């Protein structure tokens, strides 16, 4: 029994070694993903809930790995945050998103996700400024999406950045609202321009009275703080109708459109010509 026990231990050791090696390889690849041109953005429409007309797009990051295929952001962004690579990746995303949106109609805005880790770096406002200047994008067409964890560490730096960025005319949305810890005090302490309700509430809004009550409460809260509420993860007409009834002016989700390539790029024009 003793020897087989040791056998299992050896097996686990090897397994752990392999996992650690795999993880290090992934981290290495991630650090080189920008220079190897493996990152690209896709864009998902944000619509006026009442009319379905597009008001903007959210940029979502994709990593095309040569051997592993497409790695989802929920998997690689936390790793990029841990190793600090998110700072340069996030800067790439900002520049790429602004440069792309600069070629869109002037009434269409672009939303960019900004990691909590980026909000801890004091140069974030300068990076945003530079992405706007070098692309020529009007600051009022840029919106940054940030989760409330950005304001849990180094509150002073995050708050200073928030004020500086808003002073440029860039809007800030609180992302994934409702699943965090200190939502209400953050709303009071930080000037956001809009709140995105987490898609977990939207998913169950049409068959769960509790979720509907939560959405209603968040909309009321947003109204009293003068922050419009956006719903994400809308997949059905029933959900759209309920969100409209509850007073969500904007919505986003597969029902309106999946994330896809540049909606005003050459490929999109080719698609239109064909259809
Ligand atoms: P998020 O910011 O909350 O983005 C919404 C996610 O929900 C996206 O997943 C989107 O594709 C997905 N989604 C949109 N509509 C629907 C729907 O109707 N149903 C369902 N089930 N899902 C829907 P995605 O693209 O896989 O991104 C996941 C997360 O990765 C994002 O969540 C965001 O937190 C992070 N992320 C993506 N791109 C970036 C980026 O450029 N920078 C940073 N820091 N984070 C990013
Ligand atoms: Ca987002
Ligand atoms: Ca979300
Ligand atoms: Ca998220």
Pocket test for ligand 1, best of 59, 73, 236 (most atoms within 8 A of CB): 73
Q: Is the beta carbon of 113 within 6 A of some atom in ligand 1?
A: yes
Q: Is the beta carbon of 233 within 6 A of some atom in ligand 1?
A: yes
Confidence of residue 182 (pLDDT cuts 50, 70, 90): low
Confidence of residue 82 (pLDDT cuts 50, 70, 90): very high
**Percent residues over pLDDT 90 in the chain:** 75
Confidence of residue 152 (pLDDT cuts 50, 70, 90): confident
Structure tokens at 177: 């609202």
DSSP state of 173: E
Say what the alpha-carbon torsion angle 173, 174, 178, 179 is, to the nearest 10 degrees.
130
pTM of the model: 0.93
Q: How many residues does the chain have?
A: 275
Q: Is the beta carbon of 147 within 6 A of some atom in ligand 1?
A: no
Q: Give the tens place of pLDDT for each residue, 24-34.
A: 999 999 999 99
Angstrom distance (rounded) from CA 6 to CA 11: 8
Q: Give the tens place of pLDDT for each residue, 246-262.
A: 999 999 999 999 999 99
Average confidence (pLDDT) over 64-85 = 97
Q: Give the tens place of pLDDT for each residue, 7-55.
A: 777 767 888 888 899 999 999 999 999 999 999 999 999 999 999 999 9
Note the Cα 169 to chain centre separation in Å.
20
Q: Is the beta carbon of 87 within 6 A of some atom in ligand 1?
A: no
- Closest residue by Cα to atom 41, ligand 1, is 61
Residues, CB within 5 angstroms of ligand 2 (ion): 113, 145, 175
Nearest ligand for residue 176 CA: 3
Q: Is the beta carbon of 125 within 6 A of some atom in ligand 1?
A: no
Ligand 1 atom closest to the CA of 114, numbered from 1 = 44
Confidence of residue 135 (pLDDT cuts 50, 70, 90): very high
SS3 label, residue 98: helix
Percentages helix, strand, coil for the chain (3-state, rounded to 5) are 50, 20, 30
Residues, CB within 5 angstroms of ligand 3 (ion): 176
Alpha carbon distance, N-terminus to C-terminus of the chain: 70
How many angstroms is it from 275 CA to the middle of ligand 3? 32
Confidence of residue 164 (pLDDT cuts 50, 70, 90): very high
Nearest ligand for residue 255 CA: 1
């Amino acid at each position: 029994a003793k020897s087989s026990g040791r056998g299992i231990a050896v097996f686990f050791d090897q397994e752990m070694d392999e996992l650690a090696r795999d993880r290090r390889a992934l981290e290495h690849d991630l650090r080189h993903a920008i220079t190897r041109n493996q990152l690209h953005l896709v864009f998902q429409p944000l619509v006026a809930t009442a009319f379905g007309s597009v008001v903007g797009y959210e940029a979502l990051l994709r990593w095309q790995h040569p051997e592993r295929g497409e790695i989802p952001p929920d998997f690689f962004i936390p790793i990029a945050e841990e190793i600090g690579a998110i700072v340069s990746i996030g800067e790439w995303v900002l520049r790429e998103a602004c440069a792309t949106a600069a070629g869109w109609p002037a009434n269409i805005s672009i939303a960019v996700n900004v990691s909590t880790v980026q909000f801890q770096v004091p140069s974030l406002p300068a990076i945003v400024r530079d992405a706007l200047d070098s692309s020529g994008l009007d600051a009022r067409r840029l919106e940054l999406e940030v989760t409330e964890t950005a304001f849990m560490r180094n509150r002073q730096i995050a708050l200073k950045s928030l004020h500086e960025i808003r002073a440029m005319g860039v809007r800030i949305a609180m992302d994934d609202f409702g699943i965090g810890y200190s939502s209400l005090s953050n709303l009071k302490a930080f000037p956001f321009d809009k709140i995105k309700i987490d898609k977990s509430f939207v998913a169950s809004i049409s068959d769960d009275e509790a979720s509907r009550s939560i959405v209603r409460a968040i909309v009321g809260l947003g109204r009293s703080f003068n922050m419009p509420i956006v719903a994400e993860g809308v997949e059905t007409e029933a959900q759209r109708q309920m969100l409209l009834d509850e007073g969500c002016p904007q919505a986003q989700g597969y029902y309106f459109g999946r994330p896809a390539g540049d909606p005003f790029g050459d490929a999109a024009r080719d698609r239109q010509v064909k259809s």
